[in-house]
A and B are shown apart, each in its own frame.
Chain A
Amino acid sequence: MVSVQNLTKQFGYQVAVNKLSFDVPEGQILGFLGPNGAGKTTTLKMLTGMIMPTSGTAKICGYDLIQQSMDVKRSIGFVPDSGAVFESLTGLEHLEMVASLYGIPLTTALPRIEQFLSFFDLSMDVLKNKMLGAYSKGMRRKVVITAALLHNPPVVMFDEPLEGLDANASVGFKALIQSLAKEGKVIIYSSHILDVVEKVCDRVIIIDKGNLLVDGTPEQLIAFNNSGSLEKLFTDLTGGSGLEQRAETFAKTFLP
């Protein structure tokens, strides 16, 4: 369903993503991990057609990322980490606009929006009458997730989707992506919340400085590296070991 081949992105002299290759079959939830600045968001932005790769390519649902970018965009849903929305639109106006961009008639879009509203415990009154700029971060995130799934895409990419969501919404969201995967959708899930990734994802990729470090199921990776947990594996691989010791030293030496 998703096939990435030697995907590379260079900003000036800096290589943000270096010849990244992986495949994701139908129905799989792929955890996409890496420390800050590892190249996760850049990879997702390339896969969604937001920025052009310097070299390499990808196929999504059989469509070439560069040659058939419109078909690729129709096949994906994306929740960016920024959670950007048009703040001067009401939630409903924003979702109606998104539906129109995918050519979904409003008669079809409105019942779908209502379904999401009831799933996320959002009120139609708020959605109709309040500008998105006045929404809380969590409410805004729910609208962004709805906007990504409204056209029922076969591939969905999430970049830190839980940011701002309360505990109930987070639990609901995790269940939702598992159900979506069971329906055959590909989910690419980028997050820093490692225990969630460990519980939810079928497979994990860890990248650092644009390079692929490991690729496998959470169980395989933990067992192979003898780490005990995904968090331990992650810190070992990305230079975060001995953090407790470093924190202690920092607190003791921190100047007033």
Chain B
Amino acid sequence: MKAVAKEPKSLSPEQALRKLFLTVFLRGQSGRGLTKETTPKNIFTKMWTMLGVYTVMGVMSLFAITQPVLVLSTYQHGLTFFMLGTLIASTAGEMLFNKEESEILMHRPVTPEMLLRAKGFVLIQVTLVFALALNLAGMVAEAVFGDGGVLYPVIHLISMSLEALFCTGLIVLTYQLCLKWFGREKLDSIMTSFQVLITVGFMLGSQLMPRAMINRGTGLNVVFDAWYFKILPPMWFASIDDAVVGTHSTDSIIFSGVGIAVTGLIGYLAFMKLGKVYEQGLQTLGESTEAKPRQIRQFRLLEKISRSFPVNIFLKDPIARSSFQLVGSYMARDRDTKLRLYPSIASMMIMPVVMLINHQTSSSSYHYTRVPGGVDHVAQTNSVITSIFVGMAGSYLCIVPLMALNLIKYSQQWRAAELFLAAPIPGPGPLVKGARVAVVTLITIPMVTLVTVGIWALAGLDAVPMILIGVIALPAYTYLPTLSGNAVPLSNPIEEGKRAQNGPIMMLGMFGSFGLAGLAAVAKNYDLFIPFLLVETLISLGICLLVRAQEKKMDWRRYD
């Protein structure tokens, strides 16, 4: 028998675009260091570590397995909503507006609506995989032990898909409304501000909602009597599950209808109706723009800062000073840098603040019976917990420069960093130093000030010294990126930042800051806070000197 040769499969333009954006998502924009054999073939092989973390996080929902379907489902949908929202908010900007992509595609017969739908499809596909990981434990457990039975996973999968569409549509719609209301010229700055706001909103929501659910009830008897639960989207999607495999109540049927209708409306507005607005955004990327007077003033201001006391002490080397100005300008002007930097920092900083607010709220709601002349153990315990939370908020500050320096290594214009290799600079040390001073001066110091004021307001003046544990460790943390090897600013393609190599340093930094907070709280409890600070100062100084010596010796070999 004669073998029939397999004919290559032709794709429609829509299918080709979906395949393209999924491939670019999996492989990244630059493909540096990738070969056909080593490229990730699907979302699972690309993101298995993150999917693993999401699956483990999903195990938390098991606390609600003995509760009615609505409770478990609301918890799962709440968690999914906020996790997916944060994920999409941090990736959508880069995916939706890419300058190189518009150079390749905008002169071809594809409509902006087609591009938008293909990108939306890929975003939903990716978010669904993450949603599945996050909901897996709860779905399986409910099918086996819960009231929902075997139908629960099926219905939950449907409501989860709707939720993924809702989240993606909502964020795409936000961008389009920004474009429509504020115009193309302001797109860059508005997009950054909105992305920070969306991320902070999702982070706040993910922290506050589960606590609100539990705090409002008695123990684990979660109640939904508050009016605001009903306007929260996760509740609508949970109502779908409850309407089919739960109580079948009229409320659930109504809210499922609301969820389906709102999702449909958002999908229609985001991917169909406002497609023309998206076209304007893409065209903006193709237009050349002059530097605005504000941007020129920013650069001059950076120059002035770099030559002013006390910053000039650290920037005596002209290469470090240039690096300071370069990094500062990117942090102020470059859309891609701003979109990655500020939402990440905002999401990191919001967590300790939420923890502190939450602790303050819950501790103020306790009613103690004081024994005259007795030891107030409750007050003492409360003070230790406050110390830990304030310490955590303070030590979390260390993560800010660490994260910023890690992010500033990546840029869409990474090839321009070849200039550093061509210039007569013996090694990357001064460039790294300039970036470090820029991050500390322009981001970290304002952040420390903000957090100090916040803690003063929330926990009182007595708690403020706890911030010192973070402030003292800060210099050592700013040297950590040097240990990862490649710390030259703006010299790596952005997708390399998404790969795992930065993970260990960040994890080390985070665990280190948590450990510091705990140790400091214990030291404070035993009246050893000042010796603790002295020891910490010595260790921090030691690390700085050691890594600094190492940094000075660094050469370009690993950058060849």
Contacts and interface: CB of A to CB of B under 8 A. Distances in A.
Interface of A: 11-12, 14, 16, 42, 45, 48-52, 70, 73-74, 76, 78, 80, 82, 84-90, 93, 96-98, 100-103, 105-107, 110, 128-134
A103 B29 CA distance: 25
A103 B36 CA distance: 26
A112 B81 CA distance: 47
Contacts of A89: 20, 23-24, 27, 31
B8 A133 contact: no
B34 A131 contact: yes
Given A51-B283, A100-B16, A107-B10, A85 B104 contact: yes
Interface in B266-314: 283, 286-290
B19 A97 contact: yes
Interface stretch (B105-113, B191-199, B226-234, B511-519): B105-113
Given A101-B108, A107-B8, A131-B31, 9 more contacts: A50-B102, A88-B23, A88-B31, A88-B39, A89-B27, A96-B16, A98-B108, A103-B13, A106-B10
A82 B17 contact: no
Contacts of A49: 106-107
A101 B17 contact: yes
Given A50-B102, A89-B31, A131-B34, A73 B108 contact: yes
Contacts of A88: 23-24, 27-31, 34, 39
Interface string B104-126: 11111111000000000000000
26 contacts: A11-B287, A12-B185, A12-B289, A45-B286, A48-B106, A73-B110, A86-B23, A86-B29, A87-B29, A88-B29, A88-B39, A89-B20, A89-B31, A97-B19, A98-B108, A100-B10, A102-B109, A106-B7, A106-B10, A107-B8, A110-B8, A130-B36, A131-B34, A131-B35, A133-B30, A133-B31
B12 interface: yes
A101 B286 contact: no
Contact of A97 (B16, B30, B34, B100): B16
B36 A101 contact: no
A106 B16 contact: no
A86 B32 CA distance: 12
With a 10 A CB-CB cut-off, give which of A100, A110, A130 has the most chain B CB atoms.
Answer: A100
A8 to B, nearest CB: 14
Interface in B3-55: 7-13, 15-17, 19-20, 23-24, 27-32, 34-36, 39
A16 B36 contact: no
A16 B288 CA distance: 10
Contact of A100 (B15, B23, B185, B286): B15
Nearest to A134: B31
Contact of A74 (B30, B109, B289, B290): B109
Contact of A12 (B8, B104, B106, B290): B290
B103 interface: yes
A70 B106 CA distance: 11
Contacts of B109: 70, 73-74, 101-102
A86 B25 CA distance: 11
A252 B166 CA distance: 67
Contact of B107 (A42, A78, A107): A78
Given A84-B104, A101-B16, A102-B108, A129 B36 contact: yes
